[in-house]
Structure 1
Amino acid sequence: MTLLFHASDLHFGAEDSAALAWFAQEVSRQQPDAVIITGDLTMRARSAEFAAAQTWLSALGRPVLIEPGNHDLPYFNPVRRIWRPYGRVMRLQEQLHEGVMLDNVHLVSLRTTARAQLRLNWSKGRVGKRALHEALLALQDADHATRLRIVLTHHPLIEAETQSSGRTRGGRTALEAIRGAGANAVLSGHVHDPFDLSVETPAGEIRLIGAGTLSERVRATRPSFNRLQVSEGSLDAQVCAME
C-alpha cells in the first residue's frame, strides 16, 4: 500500500498559517510515503516566499514532489520569466524529492504553465507540444503490470464545474493522449476547490482529482488536501478539510 498526500496552492505570501500547521500535523501523524504539491507554492514568486515554502516543506520530513503553478513563475522580473521561468521551483524540487520510493505508483509531470501566451490572462492553462511529448515518453517507462500511472498538472485539463476555471488550451487533446499512453489518473490544483471526476475518452476512462488550497484564498471549500491510498492497482481518494 502507498499513501500519498496531495495538496495544492499553498500561496506563501498569502498562506493560511493554521491550515499549514494542521496539514503538517497530519503528515506527522500519518507519515505518507510522499507529499505531492500541484503548484502555486508562492503568491508572487518572490525569493522570500520560496524561502518560506522551502523551510515549511523541509520540516515535513517526507519526500516532496512539486509541479510548478502559474504563481511560481517570476511575476515582477520579465527577463527571468522569459529565460529562467522555472529556475527557483526546480531547484526547490531537487532539494526535496530525494528518497522517494513508490513501488506501486509511477508519477509523471505534465506542465500546464507557460511563460507567455497569446491571450491576456496568462494564469490559465496551456499544454504545449513539448510538454505533452515528454509526459508521453515518461508514461512509457512505467511498469505496466504493477504500477498505477498518475500524471501531475497544475491546471485541470478540462473544466470540473468549480467556481474557478483552468481554461486549459490543449487540455482535452492532452487528456486523450495520456490516457492512450496508459495514464490512470491526473492530479491537479489551481481552482482552489477539490473535485473527483471519471471521464470517458476514446482510450477508456481516466480519473481527474483536484486538490483545494491551504491558503487564505479559499473559494467554496475550507482549506483541504487529498489523502490518496494506492493498493493493488486501485486508487482511493479522500478529501480532508480543516474543521
Structure 2
Amino acid sequence: MERRLEQHSGREALLDPDPIQGAGSRRWRGRADLPPPGHLVNLVVAHISDVHFGGRLDLPQVGVLEAFLPTLTPAVIVVSGDITLRARHGEFQAALRFMESIGRIAPTHLVPGNHDTQWWRSPLGILGTRVLHSKYRRYFGEDLTPVLELDDLVIAGMLSANGLSPGSLTWNPNDCTVKGNLPASEVRRVRQRFAGVPPHKARLAVLHHNVLPGVVSHRWGLSRPRAAQRALDTLGADIVLCGHDHTEGAGVLPGGTVVSTSGTHSVRTRGGLPSAFNLIRMTETQ
C-alpha cells in the first residue's frame, strides 16, 4: 500500500483537480497535492493556525470554523501556534475554551507560537527558558512539543518559538521576537521518534514558523531557513505543518518533504485575502 497526500486551501473547492506546484521543488518532484480525484480518503487532517485570541480575533470566522469543522469529519485538528495575541491570561482562557470546543469534534494537537511566548520575561535566556511559556503551560500543560499517536498517524510537535534567543537573531532588527529557530535537539528528538513509527502510519511534524517563504510577504519564518529545510528533510516526515505568515499555501522542500502552511483566522490577513485553513486528505492506493 502506498500513502498519498492531498492538500487544498480552505477556500478552494475540496475536489479541485488542479495541482499545487511545490515551491522551490524540482519539476519532477513538484506537486504538493498528489492523488487524482476518486481515491478512497482514509484520513482527514484539519490544519488551522494563528487564531490570535485577543484584539485581532475575527470572531465571526471562528464561529463559522467551529460550525464547519464537524462537516469535514476530521480524524485530528492541528493548531500550529499563535493561539493568542499578547500571551495574556484572558486570551489563553478564551483559547482554552476554543480548544475544548473543537476537541469535541476530533482529537487536537497544539504547539505554541511566538505570540504565545512571553519573550520579555527572559530576553536572550538570561533568566532561563521556562518562564517564556509559563502562561501557556498553565492552560495547555507542561508539554510544549506533544506527540499524538492515532491508529493511522503520529503527530510530533516541534518548538520553534523560543522568544528573543541567540538562535533567532538576524541582522534585521525587525526580526527581533518574531523569527523562530529550530534547535538541532528538536530535530534529533523528532527524527528518533519517527524512526520507531510502524511503516503503515503517516508521520506529521508540526511547528509554528513557516518553513517556506510567504507567497505574499516573501518572508521566511525561521532565522536560518535553508539549514532548517535541510534538517526537516531528514526527519522522515510525510508532511510538515506550520503557520505564522498568515497566508495559506502548500509546497515541497528541496528533499521532497511536503509542507502545509495554514492561514489565519485573525483580521490581519495579507494582501486582502480572506481567512483560510488547510485540509489534508490522506489516501491509500494499491
TM normalised by structure 2 equals: 0.71
Q: 1:198 aligns with which of 245, 252, 262?
A: 252
Considering only CA atoms, is the larger Rg found in Structure 1 or Structure 2?
2
Report deviation, 1:208: 1.3
After superposition, give the CA deviation of every residue in 1:126-180 in whole Å (9 maximum; x if it has no partner). Answer: 111222222222222221x212211111112242433262341343333323323
Determine whether 1:112 maps to 2:160.
yes
Report deviation, 1:219: 1.1
Alignment map for 1:171-186 (pairs within 5 Å): 171-186=225-240
> 1:137 matched to which residue of 2?
192
Letter matched to residue 7 of structure 1: I
> 1:225 matched to which residue of 2?
277
Distance across 2 between alignment mates of 1:30 and 1:85:
35
Alignment map for 1:14-29 (pairs within 5 Å): 14-29=56-71
Letter matched to residue 11 of structure 1: H
Relative distance call for 1:22 and 1:182 in structure 2 (3 A) is: same
List alignment gaps of at least 5 residues for structure 2.
1-41
* Contact 1:127 1:171 (C-alpha < 8 Å) held by counterparts: no
Distance across 2 between alignment mates of 1:49 and 1:19:
17
* Contact 2:233 2:257 (C-alpha < 8 Å) held by counterparts: yes
> 1:83 matched to which residue of 2?
130
Report deviation, 1:66: 0.5
Distance across 1 between alignment mates of 2:164 and 2:90:
24
Report deviation, 1:55: 1.0
Distance across 2 between alignment mates of 1:92 and 1:19:
23
- Please tell me the root mean square deviation across aligned C-alpha atoms, in Å: 2.6
Q: Secondary structure at the match of 2:277?
A: strand
Relative distance call for 1:171 and 1:154 in structure 2 (3 A) is: same
Name whichever of 14-23 and 128-137 sits farther off. 128-137
Determine whether 1:213 maps to 2:264.
yes
Alignment map for 1:55-66 (pairs within 5 Å): 55-60=97-102, 61=104, 62-66=106-110
List alignment gaps of at least 5 residues for structure 1.
235-243
Q: Secondary structure at the match of 1:168?
A: coil
Name whichever of 40-49 and 70-79 sits farther off. 70-79
> 1:237 matched to which residue of 2?
none
Distance across 2 between alignment mates of 1:76 and 1:18:
31
* Contact 1:39 1:69 (C-alpha < 8 Å) held by counterparts: yes
Q: 1:103 aligns with which of 151, 164, 170?
A: 151
* Contact 1:186 1:207 (C-alpha < 8 Å) held by counterparts: yes
Report deviation, 1:65: 0.7
* Contact 2:211 2:220 (C-alpha < 8 Å) held by counterparts: yes
* Contact 2:229 2:254 (C-alpha < 8 Å) held by counterparts: no
After superposition, give the CA deviation of every residue in 1:57-106 in whole Å (9 maximum; x if it has no partner). Answer: 212213221011000002564498843222333454449xx9x6522222
Report deviation, 1:116: 2.1
TM normalised by structure 1 equals: 0.83
Q: Secondary structure at the match of 1:208?
A: strand
